[in-house]
Structure 1
Amino acid sequence: MNEYSKVLLEKIQRYMDKEISKDELGEWSKYEYYKLLTGDYIYIDKLITYKFLKKLSEFHIEKDEIKDEYPTTLDEIKEIQGILQGKIDTIITGSIRIFPKYLEKHLGNKEVLKIISCKRNVQNTLGNKEKMQVYFDQLTEIFQKKRTSPITIINFLEGFVLELIENLSTVSNGVSSSNFSLYLRKEDRSEEKRTDKLLDLLACILGEKSFEVSIMYNQGIPYLSALV
């Protein structure tokens, strides 16, 4: 369990032990959820808890049928606790888009412009392996500089760009690393389609399109995957 999930679980336990009130738990969650919506969502440790925080942030609100607002129930809080404790398995899905300002903060404006240029050049040289390889090499150089174990959703996608470039002519169901994976549909596994998928990944990194994420909790361990 990552440190942030531990904090979340501790907050819930403190409420259950009557050390903090419903309002205190709700207000803390509301503040954390706001931070997540305004930028923290790019950090994987925060992203995997977003639905939990949303539920917790509504725990202390008053029922308002006119506004269609209903507080989270105690049973729902107990379910979140059970998932984090590894007693309940579940799958959470959602859509995400990376805003350009977070990419620029991560890579720098100069590198972002290089990615935009490479993406455009690959699109203009589709079918010409020799020319495309030049731009693949440029992308590899850009992303290798920042390569690390996934801390942000940007790292997450960068790693799969590199793996697709390295294995563009191979056939597989997807690319994966530890608790992270990118699923390729059966129809996307040809070389041509994998090049298209690479362009889609670049579009997601650049914030030009959104993509689906799935978080599977199995015995308290989250596994993050993306469908681009």
Structure 2
Amino acid sequence: MCFYSVDATLRLLILLHLNWNRITWTKLVFTSALVLTQEESMSVSLGENVKMSCTVSSGSWTISWYQQKPGGAPQFLLADSTRASGLPSRFTYSKSGNNKYLHINGVTAEDTAVYYCGCAGCGSYHNTTFGGGTKLTILNRSPSPPKLTLLPPSQTELSEGKATLVCLAQGFSPDSITVSWTEGGRPRSGSEVQTSAPEQHPDGTFSSSSLLTVTAAQWRSGVAYSCQLSHLATTVE
């Protein structure tokens, strides 16, 4: 017969608990590896057909599609063999290998939403793994290119040892844009870059600003800074 002291038993229980936590954490990391990749945004005109994709990183999982309208919660649309009650027939599903597709034929203004693909119980303790979502914009007007203005830092700011460059985009539609900065031809990103969400104006166009913060010494070095904006209508720099 073997006896343990209270302290020895407590140490054993703590050790077992720590080991179990390590095992559980390792399992969580392993089972959450599934990745669903979607296009970030799509813009189409009224009446056109849409085909958006969801690429599954591994495995032969069943994918479901969800629609989230502005201000609402995601709603189930369809999967491989099931459909939401009352869903119009112009919404269909197809697949090819690891690529799963949502088709919307003859889009209407009401189809403006973010569309997510999801995989229920795909190795994550019965949770649903979602893609990043595809923002679908329906155009009721011709795309308008942005007007780009680059503003230099102020002298007051330079005297404080820093420099903020402002890239102002105005008059564009739809609102989906991508802004990037370069310094001497090399990309700049991370916490040094802050880009605002597009703001809509009464005429239906949008504006947005992007800030790049560098040191005053970097600005005075003579290196060239560039702001590039990619938009449905054009790419400007």
Do they superpose with TM above 0.5?
no
Which of 1 and 2 has greater Rg? 2
Greater share of helix residues, 1 or 2?
Answer: 1
Greater share of strand residues, 1 or 2?
Answer: 2
TM bucket, shorter chain? under 0.3
